[in-house]
Structure 1
Amino acid sequence: MNRYLSLAGRIMIATIFFMSAVGNKIPNFSGVSQYMAAEGVPLPSVMLFGGIVFLIAGSLSVIAGYKTQIGAGLLLVFLIFATYFFHDFWTLEGEARQQQMIQFMKNLSLMGTMVFLMANGSGLLSIDDQSPKSTEETQP
């Protein structure tokens, strides 16, 4: 049972990153690049391309459990930049400040998830799984 929960957890963790790339950033590349420029991101098209690569490679790595520490590291770097540029609540006031603080805290939580994956690996039912198999997992 734990191996299936581990896989389900990795899929749930990575879905937001994968869908962000393929469902928003790729099909809306020009608009997202313009938005990034307006938020002060340097070289927005280059950074967006790099962000897409990090999102796709990182999320697929986490889902598959292949080189999970590296994949989680890519997602962590993405989160650090995205959080700094787009959830800078400290520059805002009122309702906008509160909304961006919520988004900042959500990203902080996801950063913690990436650090946890970097420290502990992918878990069971993954390509990199090196853990000894329990009797429960080896019996049909």
Structure 2
Amino acid sequence: MYEKTVLIIARIIITPLFIYSGLGKVLHFSDNVAKTPFGDTLVGQLMIVVAIIIELGGSLCFLTGYRLKSVSLIWIVYVFLTSILFHQFWLYTGAQQSSQFIAFGKNLSIIAGLLYFSLFSPDRHRAN
């Protein structure tokens, strides 16, 4: 009972991060496309559409307990790639390097939590 409750609380705590980010991409689509390494191109637009699907679709799955292990693994890859593309602390100096390093480190912490989910969460395959 305790373990199940903790896993539910952890899912509720981690999911708003992805919901907020996904909704921000929907509401400010053009701005987010421009921030991609590909700028305002078809590839940049596809990157944001895929990100929205991963963030909002994954959040829905995570909250309902559907395919937790699969979503965890997808989010691990997604957060890692996002960190490499958008938090390149090694390119900066001073305060910018520090803030990018903190963002990168926070993402690694998120990945650590997702690794736990990928190994120990019960999966509900409700829509099979």
What range is the shorter-chain TM-score in?
Answer: 0.7 to 0.9
**Number of positions where the alignment pairs a residue of Structure 1 with one of Structure 2:** 123
Give unpaired runs (5+ residues) of structure 2. Answer: none
> Do the aligned partners of 2:68 and 2:124 also contact (CA within 8 Å) in 1?
no
Q: Is 1:109 matched with 2:105?
A: no
Find the counterpart in structure 1 of residue 70 from structure 2: 70
Question: Identity, % of aligned pairs?
Answer: 24
TM-superposed deviation, 1:127: 4.0
Alignment RMSD (CA, Å): 2.2
- For 2:95 and 2:38, how far apart are their aligned partners in 1? 21
Aligned partner of residue 34 in structure 2, secondary structure: helix
TM-score normalised according to structure 2 size: 0.85
Where in structure 2 are the equivalents of 1:16-95 lying within 5 Å? 16-22=17-23, 24-37=24-37, 43-95=43-95
Separation in 1, partners of 2:63, 2:13: 9
Contact kept, 8 Å, 1:69 with 1:118, in 2: the verdict is yes
Equivalent residues of 1:55, 1:78 under 8 A apart: no
Structure with greater contact order relative to length (CA < 8 Å, sep ≥ 6): 1
Specify the structure having the higher radius of gyration (Cα).
Answer: 1
1:95 CA displacement: 0.6
Q: What is the CA-CA distance between 1:8 and the residue it aligns to? A: 1.8
Rounded to whole Å, the distance in 1 between the matches of 2:86 and 2:92 is 12
Q: CA deviation at 1:76?
A: 1.3
Alignment partner, residue 5 of structure 2: 4
Quote the offset at 1:74 in angstroms. 1.9
- Name the structure with the higher helix share: 2
> TM-score of the superposition, structure 1-length normalised?
0.79
Distance 1:44 1:17 in 2: 19
Which amino acid letter does the alignment assign opposite residue 58 of structure 1?
G
Q: Is residue 72–residue 115 contact of structure 1 (8 Å, CA) maintained in 2?
A: yes
**Residue identity in the other structure for 1:20:** S
3-state SS of paired residue (1:74): helix
Q: Larger deviation: 94-103 or 60-69? A: 60-69
